[in-house]
Structure 1
Amino acid sequence: MSFSMTGYGQSSLQFGGYKITFEVKSVNHRYCEVVLRMPRDWMVYEDVLKRKVQQHIKRGRVDVVINRERDEEAAAGLVLNQAAVKSYLQAADTLQESFGLIGELSLRDLLSLPGVMESREGTAGLDPVSPEVLSERLEQGLDQSLQSLMEMRVREGDYLGADLEQRLSHLEKLHEDMVELAPTVVSEYRDKLRQRLGELNDGTFPFDEHKFGMEIAIFADRCNIDEELTRLHSHFEQCRSLLRGGEPVGRKLDFLIQEMNRETNTIGSKCNHLTLAGCALEMKAELEKIREQAANLE
């Protein structure tokens, strides 16, 4: 099973008089980078929530946004704390007089300040809860959005994996063609060289079979691609094994693709055969497409 690095998940929960929403999205990245944005007074839970993300995701940039809005039902029972408002206004006047600061508190600013709105029972804002309970609920909500994100990453990863396996099959077909053509390179060269020498020989020089054989042996050694073809076959098998496994494969695939490119370049430079060179060129083009797709895998 392959996992894409692209995904999106969302969840929400009601807690302590607030509606808390969790939004998680991930994109391609070389490493695992978690960026978390949430209310300032909850930043104490940042490390715990980042570790929760890292339990699910091993690679990619993950943006986590946690918002809270006062629950409508809870807000219906709120009353204005006029004493708190007066205290805030007096503090603002003192700051202006003492430090020469410029600016005024708007209605929105006042309503967002702690203690300005209270429940009818006298409890302000968020219902008092222990840090442990709040941390547990935040982890629970984040976990739900991560599950949604992982489902999307799995679907996208399955699509990418199927596409890569199809492209690997094309590479294997090209590899089979190369294996069949490789033994004919030397024999074709030998026949063409013998024919050319026969056409050039006007009887002024003797034909030396020994030197001819040495020339063919040197050519055969120089254009031999058996080792490169064997390594390519091994790389194909490793790629399939990675795609069908359950571990992150992006970096390993990237390394294998580099190795396959290296072997293909060597074949192209050594083969000295038009059809083989064409196969190598087509293989390089397909490897580039595989590299682009593999860059999206975790």
Structure 2
Amino acid sequence: MSFSMTGFGQSTRKFGGFTLRFELKCVNHRYCEVLFRMPREWARHEDGLRKLVQREIARGRVDVSIAADADEQSAGPVLNEPLVRAYLAAAERLRSGFGLPGDLTPGELLRLPGVMEGQDRSSVLQGEAFETVLRDGLEESLRELVAMRAREGRFLSEEMLRRLEVLERHLDELAALAPSVPEEYRDRLRNRLQELSEGVFPFDEQRFNMEVALFADRSSIDEELVRLRSHTGQFRDLLEGGGPSGRKLDFLVQEMNREANTIGSKSSRLEITNRVLDIKNELEKIREQAANLE
């Protein structure tokens, strides 16, 4: 199966009063490049997460975004219970040590510095359990992205195979037209020489046949057709064989274009020129699609 280089995947995970959001976007790129956007304090996890992505993606630029949002029930200030206990213990020591009257009320406690504080993401989102959640969320997003790349790759492969069939029909037409080129040249040359030689010089059949043989050799496109058919066969095998093949397909398209240009330069016959133009048109469309494959 061939994979497209474009895809998208996302997932969410709950952990420690936070919702973790994972988003993966992949676009065309010459190599495999993985870029991360996530809180700085998670940087120590980046290398392991990158290896997870590279295990599934051979080519393409992957933008990985991971963010954490506090859940509604835990989004407000959090009671710092250890600090409250410390305040109460200090108040008790003041009463017993100095004989001071009175107790700290809840209202007074809440007004003391540090009793109510925002939720500290760096202290909650850490440890082995958090790393496991990170990996699980990324893997789920990655599976969705790979599935999308597979669907797109299957569509592109079917489109290229269809155009490859059209191209091969043009090759069949070229193969049918090729033998008539030397014959037409022979007839035109014979008529022209006979017109010019009347009463001036004798017609030399031997030299005429040599000229026709030389032209037939120069204008022969048999080798180009054989190579084009070989390239189309390799192209089909790569599409149907699966695995990263984008660069090899691009190379084959270049080679097929080169053979088509050679055929066009060897013949001045309009029908052959038109078939060459048709082939180059199909190759351009195939090249555009192959550029999207991994």
Task: Give the alignment's TM-score, normalised by structure 2.
Answer: 0.84
Question: Per-residue displacement from partner, 1:61-99 (whole Å, max 9, x unpaired)?
Answer: 100000001122333683379x8xxxxxxxxxxxxxxxx
- The 8 Å contact of residues 38 and 67 in structure 1, kept in 2 or not, is answered as yes
Task: Provide closer, same or farther for how the CA distance between residues 116 and 25 of structure 1 changes in structure 2, counting only shifts above 3 A.
Answer: farther
Q: Which residue in 1 is equivalent to 2:255? A: 259
Amino acid at match of 1:63: D
Q: Which residue in 2 is equivalent to 1:37? A: 37
Distance, in Å, in 1 between the alignment partners of 2:213 and 2:292 is 46
| Structure 2 SS opposite 1:25 | strand
Post-superposition offset of 1:202: 2.0
Amino acid at match of 1:297: L
Identity %: 54
Q: Which residue in 2 is equivalent to 1:279? A: 275
Q: Which residue in 1 is equivalent to 2:95? A: none
Q: State the superposition RMSD in angstroms.
A: 2.4
Distance, in Å, in 1 between the alignment partners of 2:286 and 2:213 is 37
Q: 1:168 aligns with which of 158, 164, 168?
A: 164
Task: Provide closer, same or farther for how the CA distance between residues 65 and 125 of structure 1 changes in structure 2, counting only shifts above 3 A.
Answer: closer
Unaligned runs of 5+ in 1: 84-113
Distance, in Å, in 1 between the alignment partners of 2:151 and 2:240 is 14
Q: Which residue in 1 is equivalent to 2:100? A: none
| Structure 1 SS opposite 2:55 | helix
Task: Note if 1:52 corresponds to 2:52.
Answer: yes
- The 8 Å contact of residues 15 and 125 in structure 2, kept in 1 or not, is answered as no
**Structure 1 segment 164-243 matched on structure 2, within 5 A:** 164-243=160-239
- The 8 Å contact of residues 16 and 126 in structure 1, kept in 2 or not, is answered as no
Q: Which residue in 2 is equivalent to 1:108? A: none
Q: Which residue in 2 is equivalent to 1:75? A: 75
Task: Provide closer, same or farther for how the CA distance between residues 116 and 294 of structure 1 changes in structure 2, counting only shifts above 3 A.
Answer: farther
| Structure 2 SS opposite 1:272 | coil
| Structure 1 SS opposite 2:201 | coil
Unaligned runs of 5+ in 2: 84-113
Amino acid at match of 2:139: D
Distance, in Å, in 1 between the alignment partners of 2:190 and 2:121 is 96
Q: Which residue in 1 is equivalent to 2:143? A: 147
Question: Per-residue displacement from partner, 1:109-153 (whole Å, max 9, x unpaired)?
Answer: xxxxx997367xxxx556657633322221110000111111111
Deviates more, 1:199-208 or 1:248-257: 199-208
Task: Give the alignment's TM-score, normalised by structure 1.
Answer: 0.83
- The 8 Å contact of residues 6 and 28 in structure 1, kept in 2 or not, is answered as yes
Task: Provide closer, same or farther for how the CA distance between residues 71 and 126 of structure 1 changes in structure 2, counting only shifts above 3 A.
Answer: farther
Post-superposition offset of 1:272: 3.2
Q: Which has the larger radius of gyration?
A: 2
Distance, in Å, in 1 between the alignment partners of 2:68 and 2:49 is 16
Deviates more, 1:272-281 or 1:170-179: 272-281
Q: 1:156 aligns with which of 144, 152, 157?
A: 152
- The 8 Å contact of residues 8 and 24 in structure 2, kept in 1 or not, is answered as yes
Task: Provide closer, same or farther for how the CA distance between residues 125 and 117 of structure 1 changes in structure 2, counting only shifts above 3 A.
Answer: farther
Q: Which residue in 2 is equivalent to 1:7? A: 7
